[in-house]
Amino acid sequence: MPRAWLLNPPVFCIQIHMSSTKSRLTVPKFQAMKVEGHKITMLTAYDYPTAELLDQAGVEGILVGDTVSEVVQGHANTLPVTLDEIIYHAEMVGRAVQQALLVVDMPFPSNHLGVTRAIESAGRILKETRCQAVKLEGGAEQAEVIAGLVGAGIPVMAHVGLRPQSVHRLGGYKVQRDEQQLLADATAAEAAGAFAVVLECIPAPIAAKITRTVEIPTIGIGAGISCDGQILVVNDLLGISGGFVPRFVKKYADLRTTISGAVTQFRNEVREGTFPADEQTFK
């Protein structure tokens, strides 16, 4: 090594060191945030550039949700997306995430085919995507599957309350109000070894009670302010989603208007002959 480098290391050495020390949030650190009273932020992501932006903005968790079926693939619900398709999206997201905990949804019905097949599916997700955990919809009736996955070394985030994969049984996307059942689901998920639990569409007082009862972090979506963290579908938060948007969503941007304005301006300038101008033209 040239002597001068010892006194004045070249910039590229520092950069290599910095990038190699970056590490992703681990499951135990994610759990410790509840004890520390540090609110957890999570968003969904389905592609590389979005995941990179969310990660750099400092959210603690990124979920490759089965909502990809609705907001990216254009289906009416979350049922159609397949294991291969979730893995395809999770691979892109996994390449972008440097800091957040990365969780991938188990698509319907991959967690309902017995413990062995659930381990096979979740194992594929972990092996092929750089994710650290899976999420599955279910509480008490999924306890055996959760325990099987955890026993295989696969961290599980449970999901109780409104379970969109059960939309046909529930008869729609309704607020879930059965306090006893909700508490039983969350506590069963915790006892089975889940490291966190999503609470979807639950009255705030019930979510608060669950949050006080379980030691694992609760991540709310339509479950009020008392949850240990909050998650939203990124397309809803950014105002990309068209059509019905649930009441629990807050739109922090209006990208639909921004994107359609930009595209309309491009179309107009091409038609008028003002794009490309001199600045965009090679001479």
Q: Does 189 bind ligand KIV (CB under 6 A)?
A: no
Pair 106, 133: CB distance under 8 Å:
no
- Which residue, 70, 65, 57, 136, is CA-closest to 97? 57
Q: Does 228 bind ligand KIV (CB under 6 A)?
A: no
- CB nearer ligand KIV, residue 103 or residue 118: 103
Structure tokens of 58?
Answer: 């400092």
- CB nearer ligand KIV, residue 65 or residue 138: 65
Rounded alpha-carbon distances, angstroms, from residue 206 to 83, 176, 247: 33, 10, 18
- Which residue, 36, 85, 75, 42, is CA-closest to 61? 42
DSSP code of residue 225: T
Q: Does 218 bind ligand KIV (CB under 6 A)?
A: no
- The string over 163-191, giving b where at least 16 C-beta atoms fall within 10 Å of a residue's C-beta and e elsewhere, is bbbebeeeeeeeebeeeeebbebbbbbbe
User: What mask, x for binding ligand KIV by CB under 6 A, covers residues 136 to 175?
Assistant: ----------------------------------------
Of 60-68, 82-90, 178-186, 255-263, which part binds ligand KIV (CB under 6 A)? 60-68
Q: Are strands 101-105 and 133-137 parallel, antiparallel or unpaired?
A: parallel
Query: For residue 279, with 0-12 CB atoms within 10 Å meaning exposed, 13-18 middle and 19 or more buried, which class applies?
Result: exposed
Of 1-9, 64-72, 145-153, 245-253, which part binds ligand KIV (CB under 6 A)? 64-72
| Binding residue (CB under 6 A) for ligand KIV from 122, 221, 227, 237 | 221
Q: Does 33 bind ligand KIV (CB under 6 A)?
A: no
Q: Does 230 bind ligand KIV (CB under 6 A)?
A: no
SS3 assignment, position 134: strand
The answer to whether residue 200 is catalytic is: yes
| Binding residue (CB under 6 A) for ligand KIV from 81, 233, 237, 238 | 233
**How many of the chain's residues bind ligand KIV (CB under 6 A)?**
10
Catalytic residue among 190, 200, 215, 272: 200
Of 58-66, 82-90, 168-176, 258-266, which part binds ligand KIV (CB under 6 A)? 58-66
> What residues line the site for ligand KIV (CB under 6 A)?
44, 63, 65-67, 105, 198, 221, 231, 233
